[in-house]
Structure 1
């Protein structure tokens, strides 16, 4: 049986995007990027909300995997392209080859089916999608970059307390902190 991890990078005050919707504060160092590559090797499928999908797809399939990009970025691009991707959207009409489009009304049933069919890790990304699938998430992964942005989109926009237990943490020379939580 597969497990769903919700993995997003944040500021240390817990935001995925700034007040203007931008993510320009996310400037990870090579130590973080290598750790991310190591984690992506464990991923059996990516499950993205539309906005995160659009932020990831073109750069990692077209731009950053090209010759001349740093080796750690080329490696991530290769891993990204080799991993099945699902995008949950009601507005997209088409997706590139290698990507499966799922309508939001079908999200819970598709993720439940994938957890049953895939014996591996399903990496969920996108705050609203994660909030809508909260009961299906097994682990919560946070890479907190050393910056405070003071507002924006929170890591997980829920209105209820969810008790977690820290099972892994790691700090990087760059100041980035990784934390992995499971449900209590």
Structure 2
């Protein structure tokens, strides 16, 4: 049976985007990038909200990771392209090979089915999508970058309390902190 992890990089004050929608403050240092690549090797599929999909797809399939790019970026681009990707969107009409469109109304049933069919990690990304699939998330991963941005899009926009138990934490020389939580 598959496991859904919600993994997003944030500022230390809990935002995945700045007030203008930018994510430049999330530029990963090499130590963190290598650890992320190691984790991506174990991912069976990416589950993306539309905005995160658009932020990831073109850069990692066309712009980044090409000849002349640092080896760590080339490695991530290759891993990204090899991993099946699902984008949850009501507006997209076409996607490239390797990507499947899922309509938002079908999100719960599709993710439930994927958890049953795929023996591996399903990496969920996108705060609104995560909020809509909250009951299906097995683990919450937060990678906090050493910056305070003071506002923007939060890690998880929910209006309810959800108690979690910390099961792993790591710090990187670059100052990035990784925390992994599960439900108690």
What range describes the TM-score normalised by the shorter chain of this pair? over 0.9
**5+ residue gaps, structure 2:** none
Q: How many Å apart are 1:24 and its aligned residue?
A: 1.3
Q: How many Å apart are 1:71 and its aligned residue?
A: 0.4
**Corresponding position of 1:131:** 131
**5+ residue gaps, structure 1:** none
CA distance in 2, matches of 1:40, 1:146: 22
Aligned length, in residue pairs: 184
CA distance in 1, matches of 2:42, 2:137: 16
**Corresponding position of 1:59:** 59
Aligned to 2:149, what secondary structure does the other structure show?
A: coil
Q: How many Å apart are 1:157 and its aligned residue?
A: 0.2
Q: How many Å apart are 1:63 and its aligned residue?
A: 1.2
Aligned to 1:25, what secondary structure does the other structure show?
A: helix
CA distance in 2, matches of 1:47, 1:148: 27
Aligned to 1:131, what secondary structure does the other structure show?
A: helix
Q: How many Å apart are 1:166 and its aligned residue?
A: 0.4
Q: How many Å apart are 1:154 and its aligned residue?
A: 0.4
Runs of 4+ in structure 1 off by over 3 angstroms are none
CA distance in 2, matches of 1:68, 1:182: 39
Aligned to 1:180, what secondary structure does the other structure show?
A: strand
TM-score by length of 1: 0.99
Aligned to 2:25, what secondary structure does the other structure show?
A: coil
Per-residue Cα deviation, 1:103-129 (whole angstroms, up to 9, x for no partner): 000000000000000000000000000
**Corresponding position of 2:75:** 75
CA distance in 2, matches of 1:127, 1:14: 12
CA distance in 1, matches of 2:64, 2:36: 15
**Corresponding position of 1:27:** 27
Q: How many Å apart are 1:102 and its aligned residue?
A: 0.4
